[in-house]
Structure 1
Amino acid sequence: MESQFWIEKRCGSIENVTIEDVDAANQEAIFSDDVKSSFWIGHNDQEFVLRISSSLDFAFIYGKN
C-alpha cells in the first residue's frame, strides 16, 4: 500500500513515507547540530505541508505559497 505523503529534509526526500520515516526524520532534526534544522511533510494530491523544526515547533502551510 502506497502512502500519499512525502518528506523533504536536508539530506534528500522520501516518497510514500511510513510512520517509521517520519520518526527517523524527527529524530534526525532533534539530534542535529544545526539548531535551525527542520523537515517538511506534504500530501501528494493536496496543497498542504507541515514544517517541523528541531525544537518541535511546527507550521501548517496551505496553498502554492
Structure 2
Amino acid sequence: MSSRTGIVKWFDKEKGYGFISADAGDDVFVHHSQVKGEELSEGVSVSFDIGEGQKGPMAINVHTI
C-alpha cells in the first residue's frame, strides 16, 4: 500500500469527519478514528493510505506532515 498526500479541504471536529483534497485530484473522506497524532483542520498537509469504508474509499492512517 503506497501513501498518498493532500490538503485537508474541511474537517468538522464536532461530527468527527471531513474531506482531504488529494494531490491526485480527488476528494477523499476522512473519519477522526483514522487520524494519528494532531487534530485535522482546514489547509493542513497530510499523508494517508486508502481503505474501504462503508460508503466507498476513505483515508486511513492519516498523519499531518
Structure possessing the higher radius of gyration over alpha carbons: 1
Which is bigger in relative contact order (C-alpha 8 A, separation at least 6)? Answer: 2
TM-score if structure 1 supplies the norm length? 0.34
TM-score if structure 2 supplies the norm length? 0.34
Larger helix percent? 1
Larger strand percent? 2
